[in-house]
Structure 1
């Protein structure tokens, strides 16, 4: 409790470890809440939770609460999963996919992710998982970073087509991206243009928490 109170004055680091994918992973008390950070950015809770909550509000919490199956690609500390369960009261199946077993261990220990009964965590590469899965999803959340870097496959047409194929009728995709340079902005513009399809509604929500842009895909039938 003392750490929590002091964190309103100064962040208090309580755990730090090396990561092959993200250089460093830290658990910190900040402004009265536990957050998970990489070396240069927030990974879960804090600003990231606000970003993804903004995207989920775009669809409407009532709409999401009625869905049956959500897929989260990039779990980290699980803040968006906590939003689904605690705020939206989502009772359907949640499948979370993360490539790093160490970060899931941290999520279980510090953020109690393993206590969520309708959550199934799979340790796998997101690209490999979407190729193998035979399930279909009402909601797909893509939130994959290696520190401040986004893997190139996320913006490739083949991956996007596969993601859209996995959507049920009227399903939605929430894709969190980071725009730090003019090149990142250009990448996102080209990505959105390349998604033009009469079967989907495509939108972007720019400058969420300064450096993030949310890309929204809605299947129309």
Structure 2
């Protein structure tokens, strides 16, 4: 409790570990919240949880509650999963894909991710998983980062075509992006302007928590 109170003055690091994939993973009390961070970015809880909750709200909690299967690409500490289960009371199946096994071990220890019975975790590269999965989903959440960097495959047309093909009718994709420079801004602008798919709509929620932009894709029918 004392560390939590002190965190309103300065961040209090509880745990820090090196990872081959994520380089550095920290568990920190920050402004009274237990968060997971990489070296330069918030990975779970804190601002990231607020960002993705806003995106889910834009889709509509009442729609999400009725969904049967949600895919989360990039689990980290599992904050968006906790939002789905805790805040939205989602009861359906959740498949979480995470490339870094160390992050899942830490998420289980500090955030009790293992206690969510409807959650199945797959340790695999998100791109490889998307290529192989035979399931269809009502909601696909893309939150794939390596510190502050997004893998280039996220913007490739082949990947976009594939995830769109995995959506059920009336399904949604919620894509979290980070805009730190003009190049990244242009990348998002090009991605949105060049998205031309029949029966799909796309829009963005710009400048969430200063550096993030959410892209929302909906399959109309």
TM range (shorter): over 0.9
Range with bigger deviation, 186-195 or 136-145: 186-195
What CA deviation, in whole Å up to 9, does each residue of 1:128-169 have, x standing for no partner? Answer: 001111100000000000001000000000000000000001
Partner of 2:22: 22
What CA deviation, in whole Å up to 9, does each residue of 1:153-202 have, x standing for no partner? Answer: 00000000000000001000000000000000000011112212231110
Distance in 2, Cα, partners of 1:92 & 1:137: 11
Range with bigger deviation, 186-195 or 94-103: 186-195
Contact in 1 for aligned 2:55/2:174 (Cα 8 Å): yes
Distance in 2, Cα, partners of 1:99 & 1:59: 27
Partner of 1:201: 201
Give the Å deviation of 1:24. 1.0
Partner of 1:115: 115
Partner of 2:217: 217
Partner of 1:43: 43
Matched residues, number: 221
Distance in 1, Cα, partners of 2:198 & 2:134: 25
Contact in 1 for aligned 2:10/2:30 (Cα 8 Å): yes
Partner of 1:71: 71
Contact in 1 for aligned 2:22/2:100 (Cα 8 Å): no
Distance in 2, Cα, partners of 1:121 & 1:130: 14
Partner of 1:85: 85
Distance in 2, Cα, partners of 1:158 & 1:22: 25
Contact in 1 for aligned 2:206/2:213 (Cα 8 Å): yes
Distance in 2, Cα, partners of 1:50 & 1:196: 30
What pairs with 1:115-154 in structure 2 (closer than 5 Å)? 115-154=115-154
Normalized against structure 2, the TM-score is what? Answer: 0.99
Distance in 2, Cα, partners of 1:180 & 1:29: 25
Distance in 2, Cα, partners of 1:120 & 1:35: 22
What CA deviation, in whole Å up to 9, does each residue of 1:86-128 have, x standing for no partner? Answer: 0000000000000000000000000000000100000001000
What pairs with 1:45-60 in structure 2 (closer than 5 Å)? 45-60=45-60
User: Structure 2 stretches of 5 or more lacking a match?
Assistant: none
Partner of 2:162: 162
> Aligned-residue CA RMSD in angstroms?
0.7
